């Protein structure tokens, strides 16, 4: 597996608040990394730095050989990003929004509509294709967000709470999609649903108050609990870490 993302000594401060403190990890193609932590742990801030939407206070991020500070456009081109709360532009229909994203991603020719159609079918949003985004349920909005993230078929995906708001069947569909895509992509998913880590992730890291506390397989995480319970293991790893240094709301 080739290395897709390398994070080295990454830090971010907002005045006196240290949201991320010297975090280091890497992700390879063919790997799904579960990014875990309590609220305010620094997860979203770290993901925004990896994708180039937020500048680090210190440290480096290399994505597919490109430094996020020195070549941010190349990084953005190679990443599909589902941020918290996406998508925006509620007045747009799903159709117009995906065509807008296709313009941004410079999809042209016959491949453009073919790719849109493939993604619409794969994410199962054809029945809301002509609806405005503001009229959609939270679950459908999340699916449209995933659609825009994978539209240009990037080899690196950063997904912040990809199954948030989805019903059990939709969660199952998205988890299967993530596992399928993981064969040739590097994927980071931030999630508060610990069963999701066991279901789709090949590796997990935990941060709290901006510090890296654990990096290993889901099996290794579960082994930290004498109850063989991933929720209990998570609580044990993060015990003693407060949410005093919360990242700003995003």
Tens of pLDDT, residue by residue over 141-189, are 999 999 999 999 999 999 999 998 888 998 999 999 999 999 889 999 9
Query: Are 56 and 11 contacting, i.e. CB atoms less than 8 angstroms apart?
Result: yes
Q: Is the pLDDT of residue 250 over 70?
A: no
Domains, in order of start, for the chain: 3-85+155-238 (3.40.50.300)
Strand 186-190 with 32-36, pairing:
parallel
Better pLDDT: 99 or 198:
99
Q: Is the pLDDT of residue 191 over 90?
A: no
Question: What's residue 192's pLDDT?
Answer: 83
Lowest mean pLDDT among 53-67, 122-136, 169-183: 169-183
- Where does the pLDDT of residue 245 fall: very low under 50, low under 70, confident under 90, or very high at 90 and above? very low
Q: Is the pLDDT of residue 195 over 60?
A: yes
3-state secondary structure of 223: coil
DSSP 60-125: EEEETTEETTT-HHHHHHHEEEE-TT----TTSBHHHHHHHHHHHTT--HHHHHHHHHHHHHHHT-
Question: What's residue 248's pLDDT?
Answer: 45
Q: What is the DSSP letter of 53?
A: S
Neighbour-count burial of 79, counting CB atoms closer than 10 A to its CB (0-12 exposed, 13-18 middle, 19+ buried): buried
Mean of the pLDDT values across residues 227-246?
75
The token duo for 88 is 């925006």
Is the pTM higher than 0.95?
A: no
Q: What is the DSSP letter of 155?
A: S
Our CA angle for 52, 43, 237, nearest 5°, is 150
Tens of pLDDT, residue by residue over 79-102, are 999 998 777 789 999 999 999 999
- Of all residues in the chain, what percent carry a pLDDT higher than 90? 78
> Which residue shows structure tokens 């918290």?
84
Question: What's residue 244's pLDDT?
Answer: 38
Better pLDDT: 241 or 118:
118
Q: Is the pLDDT of residue 247 over 50?
A: no
Tens of pLDDT, residue by residue over 96-118, are 999 999 999 999 998 999 999 99
Q: Rg (Cα) of the chain, in Å, rounded? A: 18
Q: Please say whether the dihedral angle defined by the alpha carbons of residues 75, 110, 104 and 175, taken in this order, is positive or negative.
A: negative
User: How many other C-beta atoms are found inside a 10 Å radius of the C-beta of residue 4?
Assistant: 24
User: How many other C-beta atoms are found inside a 10 Å radius of the C-beta of residue 113?
Assistant: 12
Mean of the pLDDT values across residues 132-138?
94
Question: What's residue 228's pLDDT?
Answer: 87
Q: Is the pLDDT of residue 57 over 90?
A: yes
3-state secondary structure of 182: coil
Q: How far is CA 201 from CA 157, 165, 194, 208, in A?
A: 13, 20, 10, 19
- Where does the pLDDT of residue 1 fall: very low under 50, low under 70, confident under 90, or very high at 90 and above? low
- Where does the pLDDT of residue 140 fall: very low under 50, low under 70, confident under 90, or very high at 90 and above? very high
Question: What's residue 242's pLDDT?
Answer: 41
Of 213, 210, 209, whose CA–CA distance to 234 is shortest? 213
Q: What is the mean pLDDT of the chain?
A: 91
């Amino acid at each position: 597996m080739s290395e897709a993302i390398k994070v080295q000594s990454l830090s971010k401060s907002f005045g006196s608040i240290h949201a991320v403190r010297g975090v280091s990890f890497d992700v390879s193609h063919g790997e799904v990394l579960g990014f875990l932590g309590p609220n305010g742990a620094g997860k979203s801030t770290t993901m925004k730095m990896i994708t180039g939407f937020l500048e680090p206070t210190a440290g480096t991020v290399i994505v597919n050989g490109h430094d996020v500070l020195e070549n941010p456009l190349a990084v953005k081109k190679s990443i599909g990003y589902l941020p918290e709360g996406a998508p925006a532009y509620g007045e747009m229909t799903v159709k117009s929004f995906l065509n807008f994203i296709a313009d941004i991603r410079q999809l042209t020719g016959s491949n453009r509509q073919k790719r849109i159609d493939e993604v619409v079918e794969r994410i199962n949003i054809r029945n809301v294709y002509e609806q405005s985004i503001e009229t959609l349920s939270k679950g459908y909005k999340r699916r449209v967000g995933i659609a825009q993230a994978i539209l240009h078929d990037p080899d690196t995906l950063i997904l912040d709470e990809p199954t948030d708001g989805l019903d059990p069947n939709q969660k199952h569909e998205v988890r299967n999609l993530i596992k399928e895509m993981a064969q040739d992509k590097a994927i980071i998913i931030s999630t508060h649903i610990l069963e999701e880590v066991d279901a789709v992730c090949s590796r997990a890291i935990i941060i709290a108050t901006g510090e890296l506390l654990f990096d290993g397989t889901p099996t290794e995480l579960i082994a930290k609990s004498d109850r063989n319970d991933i929720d209990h293991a998570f609580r044990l790893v993060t015990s003693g870490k407060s949410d005093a240094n919360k990242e700003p709301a995003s």
